[in-house]
Structure 1
Amino acid sequence: MSLWKLYYHFVWATHQRLPLIKSSREAPLYQFIQHKTNDLGGYLRAIGGIDDHVHLIVSIPPSLALAQYVHLVKGSSSRYMNRYYADPDALFKWQQEYSVFSISEKNLTIALHYVNHQKRHHAKSKLLLHLEPDALFSRLIPP
């Protein structure tokens, strides 16, 4: 059995930053992402977000490419949400873009706290801007 300690902080947003993650849909979405991560051989250490984006702290094996993980989780979670938690007003869809950061074991506790308390951080505007999608994606798109 191989030993690996790889920690990643993923962030991705809903299509056009629409508020698609309503409170009634949040728990099923998060549970699905956890199950999918487990199915892929990974471990979801934390998940949190608000109505238009999610943050995940994930350990995934080195045999699974990061882009592959994101593709599989985003695609299957969109299909799941549209099949079982359909909203007649809006198709559940993720933006194509995402961000990922590696996390050292030393900084894991800080990252876990940040992700687990996303709603509080957003409510109090106490965000780590380098880890939020608005700040991240605005750097990718020229003015």
Structure 2
Amino acid sequence: MRDNKDIRHGRHCVFLMHVHLVFITKYRHGVFTKEVIDDLRAIFASVCKDFESELVEFDGEDDHVHLLVNYPPKVSVSALVNSLKGVSSRMIRQRNYPSVREKLWGAALWSPSYFAGSCGGAPIAVIRQYIEQQQTPH
């Protein structure tokens, strides 16, 4: 394995795991302004820290956001997503942004669905080739 400063160490494992997440606003309404996106960045970074994860990259448009999160193997992606969406929804609504208040009603900021894609490391074809080339004992 090549030397990589991003590789993390747990008590019994060495890992480098990233997930690309996409969250869409309820009804795909365009409610985010630059100020809301900046607040979301801080909220998501804080939640990630609670999960011993790292928000590597974040940005979005008026109706959706993209996150790139480096997370340890002990963290369930679904639990991380649940916390990210729940905490951010509650905190953004508490801050009472007019753009959010006017276009969304009820307690939901996010659509219940989300996209999660694993990413990083070598392409699948390279890993498959590496495994195929292992010398099986006779």
Give the alignment's TM-score, normalised by structure 1: 0.69
Q: Answer yes or no: is 1:36 the counterpart of 2:43.
A: no
Answer yes or no: is the 8 Å Cα contact 1:4–1:61 preserved in 2. Answer: yes
Q: Which has the higher strand share?
A: 2
Instruction: Verify: 1:68 aligned to 2:79, yes or no.
Output: yes
Q: Identity over the aligned pairs, expressed in percent?
A: 24
Greater Cα shift, 18-27 or 48-57: 18-27
Whichever residue aligns with residue 71 of structure 1, its letter is N
Are 2:18 and 2:69, in contact at CA under 8 Å, matched by a contact in 1? yes
Structure 2 portions without partners, runs of 5+: 1-10, 124-138
TM-score by length of 2: 0.71
Pair 1:80 & 2:91 matched: yes
Does the 8 A contact of 1:33 with 1:77 survive in 2? yes
**Higher CA-based Rg:** 2
Are the counterparts in 2 of residues 25 and 85 from structure 1 also a CA contact under 8 Å?
no
Q: Structure 1 residue 20 and structure 2 residue 31: aligned? A: yes
Aligned to 2:112: 96
- Counterpart among 86, 92, 105 of residue 121 in structure 2: 105
Assess, with a 3 A threshold, how the Cα gap between structure 1 residues 85 and 31 changes in structure 2: closer, same or farther: farther
Compute the RMSD of aligned alpha carbons: 1.6
Cα separation, 1, equivalents of 2:51 and 2:95: 22
Size of the aligned set, in residue pairs, is 107
- Which 5+ residue runs of structure 1 have no aligned equivalent? 108-143
